[in-house]
Amino acid sequence: MQKRANAVTFKGNPLTLVGPQLKPGDSAPDFACVTSGLEIMGLSKTPHKARMFSVVPSLDTPVCHDQTVKFNRAVDALKDKAACYTISLDMPFAQKRFCGAENISNMQTLSDVHNQSFGKAYGVLIEGLPIPLLSRAVFILDKNGKITYCEYVPEVASHPNYDKALDALKTAAG
């Protein structure tokens, strides 16, 4: 498995990411995440329309909270033109609780706790921490499963570029 040393920082400390650095034009890799209903969901089970994968370390931290809430509000205007997901290594039960408490209805949560396949395939699994976490990133896919936009946020504790991600999602949604 490919490892990218010093790919991101967390509070200034360099970290290694496991997996490839994807780029626009790449085919989106498959994965096996767990839904809040404890079902395995992969790329092929997502709708064939524009998709956003908003990747966060943990929903129980301020930036991850804000990222999920902000994207949830922003994608409301797209209605059924896009499928939007928040992916973390949080347990599905914690993700479900978070969504209920924060009235998250436009973002489906997927837990990568099953086998960390999303983290490894999309190059966002952080190596070297006391617990496994995913690095902050955003991936936009078109209806054919091609990546049209991706951002690996260089400092894990920082926000992604919301405007660029949302513009890319709107473009992919047509």
Kindly report, residue by residue over 62-73, the tens digit of the pLDDT: 999 999 999 999
Buried b (16+ CB within 10 A) or exposed e, 112-141: bbbebbbbbbbbbbbbeeeeebbbbbbbbb
The alpha carbon torsion through 27, 32, 38, 44 (nearest 10 deg) reads 40
Lowest mean pLDDT among 40-44, 76-80, 111-115, 152-156: 76-80
Distance CA 151, CA 173 (A): 18
Over pLDDT 70: what percentage of the chain?
100
pLDDT of residue 20: 98
Over pLDDT 90: what percentage of the chain?
97
- For residues 144-162, average pLDDT: 97
pTM of the model: 0.97
pLDDT of residue 163: 97
Distance CA 134, CA 120 (A): 9
Check if the beta carbon of residue 44 is closer than 8 Å to that of residue 30. Answer: yes
pLDDT of residue 79: 83
- For residues 96-103, average pLDDT: 96
Distant-in-sequence, close-in-space partners of 92: CB < 8 Å, separation ≥ 6: 34, 35, 36, 37, 38, 109, 111, 113
Tell me which residues are annotated as active site: 64
| pLDDT confidence tier of residue 160, bands split at 50, 70 and 90 | very high
Distant-in-sequence, close-in-space partners of 157: CB < 8 Å, separation ≥ 6: 10, 11, 63
Closest CA to 60 of 95, 86, 30, 109: 95
